[in-house]
Amino acid sequence: MKTIALCMDTYCPLAGNPSLKLLESYWAGHLATGTLGTSKYVPTMSYQDALAASRVDETHAASGMNMTSGNTTSGEHLHMRLKSRQHDGHGSSSSSDMQVFDVSSPLPVTVGGKVVLNVTSFVDPETWQMGYNYMYDFEANEAGHSTTTWVDGLKND
């Protein structure tokens, strides 16, 4: 949860800057349940608490302290760049059309996949960008479905 809170706090201001109320609503309705969301399951930690705890972990990582045991780590600082989605009027983008933001964290980078995430980690910009582009395009396509549909064999525009 701390990794997700840190990801939201890092990238959401760069990608539309949703309100804190919207972030908290997403956290409460989707974090424990996935895409569809339900009030049946709730996260065990609030967004604000998870974010505060992730910032503590970042401070420990920056000072070279292991987040779980207090042991010294390399303290290596991770510096990354973020590519922001830019449309050229045809729904595609190229690397030359990308706006670049600088984001950094001393935390380890998430590896994704099916690896267990047992420490607060930083979502790298490339992974985040691929996820953002996928969700952005998915939502755009879903919105388009409602304007061009077939009803009983007749096209409905």
Q: Where do the domains of the chain lie? A: 2-143
pLDDT at residue number 120: 95
Q: Which residue would you say has higher pLDDT here, 75 or 118?
A: 118
Mean per-residue pLDDT, 84-107: 53
pLDDT in tens, 127-142: 888 788 888 888 888 7
Residues 6+ apart with CB under 8 A from 63: 75
The model's pTM:
0.69
Average pLDDT, the chain: 74
